Amino acid sequence: MPDTTPDTTPDLPALPVTFRPGRTRAVLVVLAVATFAAITAVGMLLDGLGAGERLSFVLTALLLAGVLFLLARPRVTADEAGVTVVNLTNKRRLAWAEILQVNLRDGDPWAFLDLSDGTSLPALGIQPGIARQRAIQDARALRALVAARSAATPDAPRG
């Protein structure tokens, strides 16, 4: 008798693949450029400011734009050798065998990777913010990659 249950496992994406919150990133980059332009323009257009004061407007604009670009930085990149998680200020390279599970539960601000050393690593590159369905698809795809890569290396230590 043929199996009639629907296949809910995602197709494995071709490696290398990068997961990042695309819409959120686009909004942050546009906001960073607009913020820099607006603050710099105000600093240049105000009468009665000296060169130092104008420079302080530009430096403030650079600082604010830099923070917004930093918020747009997170990503998760999977390749043949493992996964690279880039969060706001740090970057961590993981072998496939180090990742036990990929979690993205209702209410989570981003995905979490349960690691073989007993810790959990936030993966800000998969976050449901603006595009919830995309984040769920990305988490499922990464989960499927972890499962496939774990099966490919059965001698790897698994929790």
Question: How confident is the model at residue 158, as a pLDDT?
Answer: 46
Measure the CA–CA gap between 59 and 53, rounded to whole angstroms: 10
Helix (H, G, I), strand (E, B) or coil at 132: helix
Q: What is the pTM of this model?
A: 0.80
DSSP result, 66-117: HHHHHHT--EEEE-SSEEEEE-SS-EEEEEGGGEEEEE--TT-SSEEEEETT
Question: How confident is the model at residue 7, as a pLDDT?
Answer: 46
Residues of the chain falling short of pLDDT 50:
1-7, 156, 158-159
Chain-centre distance of CA 20, in angstroms?
4
What type of residue sits at position 74?
P
CA angle 78, 83, 84 (to 5 degrees): 105
Q: Are 72 and 32 in contact (CB under 8 A)?
A: yes
Question: How confident is the model at residue 153, as a pLDDT?
Answer: 60
The token pair at 137 is 């698809």
Q: What is the pLDDT of residues 87-131, one digit of tens each?
A: 999 999 999 999 999 999 999 999 999 999 999 999 999 999 888
